[in-house]
Amino acid sequence: MIERKRLLSLGYYKKAPSFTGSDKNKCYKIEKIHPEETDEDLFQATIWPGPYSSENTPDEVKQKNTAPFTEEGLQELVDWMNQIDI
């Protein structure tokens, strides 16, 4: 189970490009994005089956979701990632 406390503070994502991790057979990446069609930052979570890195995993097997760039948005992504059955 992926826990919110493992994903670091909101301040980390303001400065760092992304955070990657894994939990059992799931790998994931959390990053801050700024889509051109909006004027707000968002979190994007990408999840894929392990054990390979994102670069070595075909895009077809990855799943993505976005949420507001807030503590609540980060928790929303944690809940979503824990629901995904890979």
pTM of the model: 0.91
Residue-range domain boundaries for the chain: 4-83
Q: Are strands 26-33 and 63-68 parallel, antiparallel or unpaired?
A: unpaired
DSSP H or E segment with residue 73: helix 71-83
Nearest 5°: the CA angle 37, 73, 49 is: 90
Distance of CA 45 to the CA centre of its chain: 2
Q: Give per-residue pLDDT as tens, 10-34.
A: 999 999 989 999 998 999 999 999 9
Task: Give the position of tokens 């670091």.
Answer: 8
Cα–Cα distance for residue pair 50/2, rounded to 1 Å: 14
pLDDT in tens, 32-70: 999 988 889 999 999 999 999 999 999 999 999 999 999
Q: How confident is the model at residue 86 (pLDDT cuts 50, 70, 90)?
A: confident
